Amino acid sequence: MKVIAAYNIKGGVGKTATAVNIAYLAAADGYRVLLWDLDPQAAASFLFRVKPRVKGGGKALIAGKRPVDLAIKATDFDHLDLLPADFTYRNLDLHLDGERKPVTRLRSLLSPLRREYDLVVLDCPPSISLLSENVLHAADLLLVPLIPTTLSVRTLDQLTDFVAGLDAHQPRILAFFSMIDRRKRLHLQIAEELPAGRGDVAATAIPALSTIERMSVQRAPVTASAPRGVAARSYRELWAEVRERAGLTRARPGS
């Protein structure tokens, strides 16, 4: 089982759109996928039409009082399940801090699911926190959406340094440009220059399109609701890069 986290220190960069579409595309390819919504805003839960109310909340999951597998919900799509969030997730850092091994608790909770899923996708809230450290210890690949601005590039450097400073498990990083506006000269300049100078930036860029924004209206991945559009094509190209970087083997026949 591989774990991919859609993560960035900054908010409003397209993490949920990334997590939802990558999870859907992986499931469409036959992988058994679990999307874990870790954001108290529960946007991914909303998009998949799953009630964002978890019995016992995040505290029960972190403490082991409610088994993770009992909180998992099916979605409308084959091979794709969801572990929904609710507003109690805003206190996950406090709950994690009370655990014996607080930085590896997320990885421990995922471990029993290895026989059930080929891929877990984490939709992460924006922060540098104890939950973030848990994500870094659990993930094999950090998928980092960036808006092509100078400050976003600086954020990537900060994240890279943070990961390099971890004592044990260090996930790979794959950044990519999200919400790119090709009418803006700065967007085009940074999107051209940054991938040429480093190997942790994907070749694929996700454009700023209204079809992606309308996911909250359609309540479905854009790759499902508008599969022939530019946005869907861009996410499919990104998924191909993610699959290779994560080292995912071919989906099991009959999955």
Q: Is 237 exposed, middle or buried (0-12, 13-18, 19+ CB in 10 A)?
A: middle
Q: Is the pTM of this model over 0.85?
A: yes
Closest CA to 10 of 127, 171, 167: 127
Better-scored residue on pLDDT, 46 or 194? 46
pLDDT tens for each residue of 160-193:
888 888 777 789 999 999 888 878 888 887 877 7
3-state secondary structure of 113: helix
Neighbours of 10 (CB within 10 A): 18
Domains and CATH numbers, the chain: 2-246 (3.40.50.300)
Instruction: Mention every residue, 6+ apart, whose C-beta is less than 8 A from residue 48.
Output: 20, 35, 75, 76, 82, 219, 220
Q: Which amino acid is at 18?
A: T
Q: What is the pLDDT of residues 6-20, one digit of tens each?
A: 999 888 899 999 999
Rounded (to 5) percent helix, strand, coil in the chain:
45, 15, 40
Helix axes 185-197, 150-164, angle to 10 degrees: 30
Q: What is the pLDDT of residues 104-132, one digit of tens each?
A: 899 999 999 999 999 999 999 988 888 88
Q: Would you say residue 255 has pLDDT above 70? A: no
**What is d(CA 118, CA 250) in angstroms, rounded to the nearest whole number?**
10
